[in-house]
């Protein structure tokens, strides 16, 4: 029989045991605190590189090597809270983007009704649309639209064409149609790190027209993290916050295995991105997702998958600390 410390040592080996997200038990939804979900969907990204559906499997494979204890928050969410791996969203018509978005919404409706906070790994960025069609104005938000903390190299508010190579509720459109539907409040949402290679001079206009608060990568560098974090706190205070983290906001040297690399301008270092995430510590974070991991483009050491898992751990800790503090003291 292994001792507690021997078991901990074995659990931290990615090649040992049956892989689940962060070694959490694979269980059906009941009344847990947090559900970790895989969303293996990639037909919402109209590029030719569509291997994002392999993201959940890659993160399950390596997430056991991630931290168990949050040094900054001084919590161990895994032993303190009821956290499960809720499995993957099923996609019987995986090549039909519109059906897949419906399946995602249907899956998250069950999570929202039970008021379980979801932390998800994609999948391309179209999954956020399916998720927030459920959470926006739902139980977790007490009937309010969601306010976004959105880290990305791209706006995902594409309105010039009503589809992206045939996909209507695509990875490029979710930031627009969720506002149109009333699921997201753009005026209290913020997009940070935008540096995508623009196809036209008006590439940022749709975000401004919808009312999003925009901080490009160039502006972030000019203003500095302290000022941007101040803006985040002011915007999102008292709001139900959903974090969506596209891995392409990170510099390609930090996260090479993403679907839409933007090498022409430096992206975030991981410490910068984590600092922005921690700006909402103590606020009402209802859930989050990490998207656009491309395992087939990753380095042999799987560094991008590890970055994805590290970001997920931050999200778990942000949600988890609030839930721990809300529990009755013994």
Count the Cβ atoms, other than its own, within 10 Å of residue 45.
29
Q: How far apart are CA 60 and CA 85, in angstroms?
A: 10
CB 120 within 8 A of CB 288: yes
Look up residue 70 and give its two tokens: 């949050």
Q: SS3 sequence, 230-277?
A: HHHHHHHCCCCEEEEEEHHHECCCCCCCECCCCCCCCCECHHHHHHHH
Q: What is the pLDDT of residue 16?
A: 78
**Band of pLDDT at residue 67, cut at 50, 70 and 90:** confident
In this model, does residue 275 exceed pLDDT 70? Answer: yes
CB 295 within 8 A of CB 305: yes
Q: How far apart are CA 178 and CA 169, in angstroms?
A: 10
The mean pLDDT of 56-78, rounded to a whole number, is 93
**Band of pLDDT at residue 166, cut at 50, 70 and 90:** low
In what helix (H) or strand (E) does residue 130 lie, and over which residues does it extend? helix 127-135
Q: What is the pLDDT of residue 192?
A: 98
In this model, does residue 185 exceed pLDDT 70? Answer: yes
In this model, does residue 214 exceed pLDDT 90? Answer: yes
CB 148 within 8 A of CB 184: yes
Q: How far apart are CA 198 and CA 203, in angstroms?
A: 6
Q: What is the pLDDT of residue 48?
A: 54
Bridge partners (DSSP) listed for residue 214: 191
Nearest to 261 by CA among 290, 225, 304: 304
Query: Where is average pLDDT lowest: 25-34, 50-59, 201-210, 302-311?
Result: 201-210
Q: What is the pLDDT of residue 141?
A: 98
In this model, does residue 1 exceed pLDDT 80? Answer: no
In the chain, what are the domain boundaries?
A: 4-326
Q: How far apart are CA 5 and CA 25, in angstroms?
A: 19
The mean pLDDT of 12-23, rounded to a whole number, is 84
Q: What is the pLDDT of residue 169?
A: 81
Look up residue 248 and give its two tokens: 């392409």
**Band of pLDDT at residue 260, cut at 50, 70 and 90:** confident
Q: What is the pLDDT of residue 330?
A: 65
**Band of pLDDT at residue 163, cut at 50, 70 and 90:** low
Nearest to 212 by CA among 220, 221, 204: 204
List of residues 6+ apart from 312 with CB closer than 8 A: 21, 22, 36, 59, 63, 66, 119, 121, 290
Nearest to 275 by CA among 301, 294, 249: 249
In this model, does residue 264 exceed pLDDT 80? Answer: yes
CA dihedral sign of residues 258, 260, 264, 269 = negative
The mean pLDDT of 195-224, rounded to a whole number, is 90
Phi, psi (deg, nearest 5) at residue 97: -60, -45
The mean pLDDT of 267-290, rounded to a whole number, is 98
The mean pLDDT of 209-214, rounded to a whole number, is 97
Q: How far apart are CA 285 and CA 323, in angstroms?
A: 10
Comparing 184 with 196, the larger pLDDT belongs to 184
Q: How far apart are CA 185 and CA 175, in angstroms?
A: 10
Q: How far apart are CA 150 and CA 275, in angstroms?
A: 14
Comparing 46 with 240, the larger pLDDT belongs to 240
pLDDT digits (tens, 9 = 90+) for 114-162: 999 999 999 999 999 999 999 999 999 999 999 999 999 998 888 777 6
In this model, does residue 47 exceed pLDDT 70? Answer: no
Mean pLDDT, rounded, of the chain: 92
Beta strands 147-151 and 190-194, pairing class: parallel
pLDDT digits (tens, 9 = 90+) for 74-119: 999 999 999 999 999 999 999 999 999 999 999 999 999 999 999 9
What CATH number matches the domain at 4-326, 1.10.540.10, 3.40.50.2000, 1.10.10.10, 3.40.800.10?
A: 3.40.800.10
The mean pLDDT of 195-209, rounded to a whole number, is 83
In this model, does residue 248 exceed pLDDT 90? Answer: yes
**Band of pLDDT at residue 316, cut at 50, 70 and 90:** very high
CB 152 within 8 A of CB 262: no
């Amino acid at each position: 029989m292994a001792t507690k410390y021997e078991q901990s040592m074995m659990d931290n080996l990615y090649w040992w045991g049956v892989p689940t997200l962060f070694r959490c038990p694979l269980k059906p939804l009941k009344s847990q605190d947090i559900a970790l979900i895989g969303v293996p969907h990639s037909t919402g990204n109209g590029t030719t590189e569509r291997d994002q559906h392999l993201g959940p499997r890659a993160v399950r494979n390596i997430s056991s090597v991630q931290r168990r204890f949050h040094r900054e928050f001084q919590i161990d969410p895994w032993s303190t809270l009821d956290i499960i791996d809720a499995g993957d969203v099923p996609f019987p018509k995986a090549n039909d983007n519109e059906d897949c978005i419906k399946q995602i919404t249907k899956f998250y409706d069950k999570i929202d009704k039970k008021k379980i906070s979801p932390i998800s790994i994609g999948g391309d960025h179209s999954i956020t649309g399916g998720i927030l069609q459920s959470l926006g104005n739902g139980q977790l938000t007490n009937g309010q639209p969601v306010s976004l903390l959105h880290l990305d190299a791209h706006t995902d508010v594409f309105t010039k064409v009503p589809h992206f190579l045939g996909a209507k509720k695509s990875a490029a459109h979710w930031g627009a149609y969720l506002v149109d539907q009333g699921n997201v409040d753009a005026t209290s949402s913020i997009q940070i790190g935008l540096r995508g290679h623009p196809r036209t001079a008006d590439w940022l206009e749709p975000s401004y027209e919808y009312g999003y608060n925009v901080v490009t990568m160039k502006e972030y560098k000019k203003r500095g993290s302290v000022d941007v974090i101040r803006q985040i706190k002011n915007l999102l205070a008292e709001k139900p916050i959903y974090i969506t983290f596209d891995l392409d906001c990170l510099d390609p040297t930090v996260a090479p295995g993403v679907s839409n690399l933007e090498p022409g301008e430096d992206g975030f270092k991981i410490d910068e991105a984590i600092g922005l995430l921690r700006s909402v510590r103590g606020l009402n974070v209802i859930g989050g997702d990490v998207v656009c991991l491309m395992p087939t483009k990753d380095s042999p050491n799987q560094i991008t998958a590890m970055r994805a898992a590290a970001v997920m751990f931050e999200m778990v800790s942000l949600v988890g600390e609030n839930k721990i503090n809300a529990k009755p003291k013994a």
